[in-house]
Structure 1
Amino acid sequence: MKRNIIAGLAVISLLSSCNNKEKMLDSLADYNNSKETTGYHFGDRLTLPKEVTDHAESITISFGENETSNLTIDPKFFTLGDNDVTFTIKTKNGETLNQDATINVFAKNPEKNISYSIVADYPHDPTNFVEGFLMEGNTVYESAGLDGASKLIKYTLGSSTPGIVEKQPADIFSEGCAMVGDKIYQLTYKSKIGFVYDKNTLKKLSQFPLPNVIGEGWGLTYDGKNLVATDGSKNLYFLDVNDPSKVVRTVAVAGNAEIYDNINELEYHKGFIYSNVWHQPIILKINPATGEVVGKFDFTKLTRENDQGNSEHVLNGIAFKDDNMLVTGKNWAKIYEIDVQ
């Protein structure tokens, strides 16, 4: 009889333990799901539900190779944007529970909707699948993509005829480009290499391997100290201009209420980075020190007028003519000069 009572108590204890475990994981999942939309800001503290904290001996959060028991959103640990983490809970009865979650971290201040007016437009070769776009004086340098059709082009703004064309091998898909002194740096899409050209002749001088962390080459600009590259994620990669295979630092991008992946073509101007977002008719104004989006341009109307119903003919090209912005897109027939208000 005593043996049966002990066995019964053991079953009850096991069932209670399983029930507590399920309650803890369910409440944690509900909490995390509810916070994905509203997100957090740096300095916020995770206020986990009582079903978790009342039964937890310890709680840790792991993110990549890092781990912390501090439930404050600390920029030393988290980045802006989405953070894929794992919660590890050691319960008071000795169990270890794990649950994956996404912690979204947003910029504290809302981004400004930047107004503008179109002051001029110029012809653009509609056969060019624009990937990189920059300007010096009245000269445009453009990197056009697609397998078998990639090239680096130099022409005068307003001219429909290129002055110099440097064609790429058929297996190269050209991407973003940037000017550093008398050189043009250019990324490639999936070849994991970049090229360096003479600015005046467009003759190739050298090439370099892309850093391992950059899976694909997308956008490129120069901030006066480092090359800044994108790879289709939320990240800006600051590269050593003397050794572009080396990442100096990485900055994640996010707005006040929105995660921005697919950060694409870049342009640096007067302390800010301007970026297209692939397949969105917008340009972001980004603080390169923090990754916070401080402003946003809406080019929906221009995109609709130029994409010819083709979803791949996206807005993708940013340059500056003094303080006016130049914008164009993949296979667009025009370049627009924008007076920023």
Structure 2
Amino acid sequence: MHSGQAKTFLIRALKRSQMINLAGVLMVITLAGACKNEGSRNEVLGFKFPEQGQTYGLGEEVKVELDIPAESKVINVSYLVDGKAVDSKTNKDAFALKTADLSLGYRLISAVVDNGEKKDTVTINIVLKSAVKPAEFTYKVLNTFPHDTSSYTQGLEYHNGRFLESTGEYGTSTLRWVALETGKALERIDIDKKYFAEGSSLVGDKIVMLTWKEDIGFVYDSKSLKQLSTFPYQNSREGWGLTYDGERLIKSDGTNRIWFLNGADYKEESYIDVYDNNGQVDELNELEYIDGKIYANIYQTDKIAVIDPKNGTVERYVDMSGILPAKDKFPNTDVLNGIAWDAAGKRLFVTGKKFSKLFQVELIPKGSK
């Protein structure tokens, strides 16, 4: 083990120890909050159903029932999911939680029990996974255009006959407007060498661009490419892909989580976790919003996931294997990354990091002619 590895191992061990201690403290607090002291008698509240961490398919009903001592008085029980009220009872009866309108991932169920004198709150987590097997699609190349092999493509959008492209890597990151027919930059700026540029998107007359690990986004004038302002990330750990649905910015951070940002002040307001029928789908990268769906490159693969923005379900996978012929690959050619949609012309474009080509494609179901 190298000294750097030993240092990393020690830090991880300390963090793990801290997490264990924190978990113990939280357990004590939870148990204390779930107990009612009446003289010498302790009455512990909890959930009979569901079990902690139990997994359900989205749309499946979840039986929710509290384990309340028979002698306990109950005036009202309020049930919440992720802090939002979903039901209320004046007794100890179970109820069926409908999940069709919830999003995927971990959901926190809370019950606030009122006995007329005090209120106790108990919580439990369930996991909602996709019940949908994604449809399998492939592609047909309709047209091919040049692409700059120095462009480590991180963001790609089509607007009025040209591409908005942001390119990454420390020391060579750029923001540029690119001609479709030639692949050459019409206007461009170099990004400060201390930043690794990531996804970008046009919002009105401004361009919003992310950085990778610097916890900061940039705002530019779309015509001059002059920097106007910056903004911080509030919750997400990194910046990867970015797109715009006409109201909100949609952001990936390299995990299976997609964030929704206010289109005016760029604050992270909500998120979805992305799952297919086998589990969570990680390393979501460059994004494009097309006809109400989120299209996402999956980093280091030739797959594009088509995602329902309401709940995080992967509805389709597009296999782009072989899109760049072997004869067009060079030593610096990297992975597939870059999706752009021409809404007016109904044209879909894809490319990759340092690809020599950009492709107009049609998506077709696998197995079709």
TM-score normalised to the size of structure 2? 0.66
TM-superposition CA deviations, 1:79-121 (whole Å, max 9, x none): 52x5499xxxxxxxxxxxxxxx9x7532222221124310011
Which residue of the partner structure matches residue 224 of structure 2?
201
- Is 1:255 the equivalent of 2:276? yes
Kindly state the Cα deviation for residue 73 of structure 1 after the two structures are TM-superposed: 8.5
Which residue of the partner structure matches residue 298 of structure 1?
319
Which residue of the partner structure matches residue 166 of structure 2?
143
Which residue of the partner structure matches residue 237 of structure 2?
215
Kindly state the Cα deviation for residue 309 of structure 1 after the two structures are TM-superposed: 7.2
Describe the SS at the equivalent of 1:261. Answer: coil
Cα distance in 1, alignment partners of residues 60 and 236 from structure 2: 29
Describe the SS at the equivalent of 2:322. Answer: helix
TM-superposition CA deviations, 1:178-226 (whole Å, max 9, x none): 111111110000111111111122111111112x211100110000110
Kindly state the Cα deviation for residue 41 of structure 1 after the two structures are TM-superposed: 3.6
Residues 40 and 323 from structure 1, CA distance in 2 versus in 1: closer, same or farther, beyond 3 angstroms? same
Which residue of the partner structure matches residue 337 of structure 2?
316
Cα distance in 2, alignment partners of residues 64 and 105 from structure 1: 13
The answer to whether the 8 Å contact 1:176/1:217 transfers is yes
Residues 171 and 252 from structure 1, CA distance in 2 versus in 1: closer, same or farther, beyond 3 angstroms? same
- Is 1:105 the equivalent of 2:128? yes
Describe the SS at the equivalent of 1:149. Answer: coil
TM-score normalised to the size of structure 1? 0.71
2:350 to 308, 327, 333: 327
Describe the SS at the equivalent of 1:108. Answer: coil
Describe the SS at the equivalent of 2:302. Answer: strand
Q: What amino acid is aligned across from residue 305 of structure 2 in structure 1?
A: L
Which residue of the partner structure matches residue 273 of structure 1?
294
TM-superposition CA deviations, 1:37-56 (whole Å, max 9, x none): xx744425589xxxxxxxx9
Unmatched 5+ stretches in structure 2: 1-50, 70-80, 85-93, 109-124, 365-369
1:153 to 137, 156, 176: 176
Cα distance in 2, alignment partners of residues 275 and 129 from structure 1: 17
Describe the SS at the equivalent of 1:114. Answer: strand
Describe the SS at the equivalent of 2:158. Answer: strand
Structure whose residues are more often strand by fraction = 2
Q: What amino acid is aligned across from residue 280 of structure 1 in structure 2?
A: T
The answer to whether the 8 Å contact 1:41/1:73 transfers is no
Which residue of the partner structure matches residue 226 of structure 1?
248
Describe the SS at the equivalent of 1:301. Answer: coil
RMSD: 3.5
Cα distance in 1, alignment partners of residues 298 and 204 from structure 2: 27
The answer to whether the 8 Å contact 2:138/2:320 transfers is no
Describe the SS at the equivalent of 1:243. Answer: coil
Identity of aligned residues (%): 30
TM-superposition CA deviations, 1:219-249 (whole Å, max 9, x none): 10000110111111111111111111x2222
Q: What amino acid is aligned across from residue 245 of structure 2 in structure 1?
A: D
- Is 1:114 the equivalent of 2:150? no
Q: What amino acid is aligned across from residue 249 of structure 2 in structure 1?
A: L
Q: How does 1:88-99 map to 2 (within 5 A)?
A: none
The answer to whether the 8 Å contact 1:251/1:291 transfers is yes
Cα distance in 1, alignment partners of residues 127 and 232 from structure 2: 32
Cα distance in 2, alignment partners of residues 198 and 284 from structure 1: 31
Cα distance in 1, alignment partners of residues 271 and 136 from structure 2: 26
Q: What amino acid is aligned across from residue 222 of structure 1 in structure 2?
A: Y
Kindly state the Cα deviation for residue 325 of structure 1 after the two structures are TM-superposed: 1.2
Cα distance in 2, alignment partners of residues 234 and 304 from structure 1: 30
Q: How does 1:149-188 map to 2 (within 5 A)?
A: 149-188=172-211
Residues 257 and 304 from structure 1, CA distance in 2 versus in 1: closer, same or farther, beyond 3 angstroms? farther
